[in-house]
Structure 1
Amino acid sequence: MENITEHLKNIKILDNNDIIKLKNYIRNKYPDNTTVKNAQILSDTIHKIIYVKLDGLPEDFKSPIKIATLKNTLGNSKSLITLYDIFSTCLVDENLRKNFRDQLTGWVNSHIEVNIKVEELDSYLEIDNIKNKEAAEVLEVKNSNINIVKGCQENINVSIIKAGFLTWLGKFKLSRHLAVTVICIFAIPLYALNRNFYINVDKASIKEESYILQVDKSTSNSIKYTNAHLPEYMRYKPVNEKKLKIFLGNHKSLLSKEPYFSTIISVAKEFNLNPVVLFSITGQEQSFVPSDNENAFKIANNPFNVYHSWKEYNTNIRDSSSIAARTVINLSQDISKDEDPFLCIGKKYAEDKNWGDGVKSIFKELNDCVN
C-alpha cells in the first residue's frame, strides 16, 4: 500500500504553472471581460478540474472533499495538487472511511495500474492512523445532508483566507489581477457552498453573485477531455437515440430503459466519448444485459465489468460508466495512428484476447445502425 500512496503522490492534478496557463488562456479568449469576471471563470474551471478527479466517490462527499483539498493544498502554500492530496483528504472523514470503503478502494484502483483490495486499504488505515487528521477539513455526511464543520461561516469574506495561502500567493510575484483570481478560487466557492447547503445568506447578495457559477462550458470541456489522441469516430457526437433504443430493444436490453440509457449517453458526453463505444463494450461484456436475466438489475449497475466483474464491483450505472469511459481514454493514450484502438485497449481492458475484435465488430454494427 505504501507503493500505492507514492504512486498517487506522483500523479499531478494541477500546479502553479497550470493555473498561470489557464489564466492566460482565459484572458486571451475573453479580452473584454473584467479581471474579476475572468478570475471567476478560472475559479470555476479549477474547481471542475478537481471535481472530475472525484469520479467514483460517493456524490454527497464530492463538494466538501473538493473544497477541503483546495484549502489543504493551495490554501496551505503548496504549489502542487496530486491525487494523494485527494486521497489523504478522504481518509480524514470517518464516515467515508468506515462506510464507503468499496468506493474509496475503487477510486484508488481507477487511477493506478496495480489494483488493491478493500482489506489492504483497511490495513493501511490501521497502520497510518490518519496522521494528517488535524491538517485536513473535518467533514460530516448524515442522511445526505452535508455539514461543513470547519471553514464555512454565514458571512464569507477575504478574511477566511489563511496566512499560509497569502504566502503561497506571494510566490507568484505577478500582478494584483492574479491575486484577485486566486482569492476567487477560495472565497467564491465557499460563498456558493453556504448558499447551496441552505445556510442563511442575504438574497440580494445571492442575486448579485449568481453569475459566478456560470462558466464557458466549451472551455471547461476542452480542458477536461480533449481526447486528441483518440480517432475522431471515437470522440463524442450525437447519435440517433430512437434508433439506438430500437437496437437495444431488439436485444431485449435493460439498458434501453431508464436510468441506464440516459446515464450512459450523459457520461459519454461528459467524457467526450462516442456513446456507441460504451454501449459496444456492454454488448461484448454482458450482451447488452438482457432483461430476462435473473440478475439483470445488478448487472446493469456495472455492465462494463469494471474492476473484474459486476459481482465484485456493484455500485450504479453512472459510476461504472464513468470508470469505463476513463479507462478507455487512459488505455488509448499511447496508441499510434496506425494501430487499431479497439485491439490495443482490449489487451489491457480484458483477459479475453478476442475482446478488441468483439467490441470493434459490435461498434461497427451499432454505429451503422444509429448513424
Structure 2
Amino acid sequence: METAALLSPADVNVIRRYVQTKYAPLPNGKRAEMVADAIRRTLEQRLPDLPAEIKSRMSTDLIRRCLLSERREVKPDDVLDFCAELELPEEESEKLLVEPMLRWMNERTPGLWSADHVASRIVRSKVIPIPTPMMLQEESVADVDGPEAAEAEQAAALSEPAGIADPLQSPLKRPGFAEKLTRLPRKAWAAVAAIAAAGAITGVIVLSSFNQPSTEAPQPSPIAVPIADIGMPSHLQYRDINEEAVKAYMRSRDGLMAEEPYFSAVVASAKKHDVNPLLLFAIVGQEQGFVPRSNKNAEKIANNPFNVFHSWQEYNTDIRDSSDIAARTISRRGNARPEGHEPFDWFNKKYAEDPNWGAGVKRLFDKLSSLSPAP
C-alpha cells in the first residue's frame, strides 16, 4: 500500500527549526522537551480515531520502531501492522480497531478498503499482550529505564551529519515495512531520541486493560507547544489517487495528459519527490488545460505541460524530465514554507508571475480531490 507518510524526517526537521526559532531564549533542555512533545502530538493527530490508550501506545511504538530502530518515515502500513500485533478479543477488535481503521483508510485511499479487507490485515498475528492492572503494578520506572534509554542514545549517536539522504534496506523483512529507509540528521535524531527516553522514564508506553478498571498513573503536564503550520502540508504529500476517476475527468476536458506515457510519468515523479499527484495535475490544468488534443501542438506541449524553464517552446525534452523538475521544485518550495503562508499562495510566489495562478491551481486541486471513486 503506497500512501503518504504519517511522519517523515522532513516533518521532524520542520518542527525542530520552528521550536528553536520561536523559543530561542529557552534552555536547550526545555526546547528538546518541546520538540519531543510536538513530534508525538503531530503523529497522534494523523493516526486513526482509536481509544486514547491504544493511540498513545501506538505513537510511542511507531516512533521507536520506525524512526529510531529502522530510521525511516512512519507509513500507514505501520499502523495496520501495529493493530495486527495487539492482543484483543475478536469482538473488541471489531469495535475498537476495524471500524475506526476502515474510516481512516478510506479517507486516505477512497473506495479501496472494505471491512473484511481491514479485518484480514489486522487480525493476523497476536504477539503483544495488553498489560493487566497487575502487570502494570509490577512494571516500575526502574524496570524500563536502561535498555530503552540506551536504545535512544545509541540511535542519536549513530546518526549521520545533516543533509544526506541515505536509502538503506530494512533489517526487518516483515510485511508492510518499506524497503527504503532514510537517515535523519543528527539534531533531528536527538529530538526523536528524547521522545523514546521520555517514554521510558515516564512510563507512557504501558497500556491499561480494556476489561478491568485501573488506576491511572500521574502524568507530567503537557508542554503547550502549537503544532507548527509550516512545511509541506500532509494533504499535499504523496498518496494514492483514484487514477481512473482522474483520467475520466481529464478526458472530459479532451486532455492528452490522461493518456500514456504522460499520466504515469507525472504520478512517478510525484511519488519520487513526495508530492500529491493531484497537485501536479492541477498545475498542468492551470498551465495548459490538461493539454487538449485539439491543439495542433498537443504532443509538444505534453512534453512540458508544466512550462518549466519558462515555457514548452523554450524547454522541450519529454514528460519524464519536465514532471521530475516540476515535482522537485514544488517539493522544495513546499518544505520551505514558513508559518502563516497559505500553501498555494506560497507556490505562486516561486512558480508563476500571475498573482491568480495559485488560486486557479487550488480550485483544480480541490476538484480533482473531490472526484468519486470509480465503480
TM-score range, shorter chain: 0.3 to 0.5
Question: Relative contact order: is structure 1 or structure 2 higher (C-alpha 8 Å, sep ≥ 6)?
Answer: 2
TM-score, length-normalised on structure 2?
0.46
TM-score, length-normalised on structure 1?
0.47
- Relative to total residues, which structure has the larger helix share, 1 or 2? 1
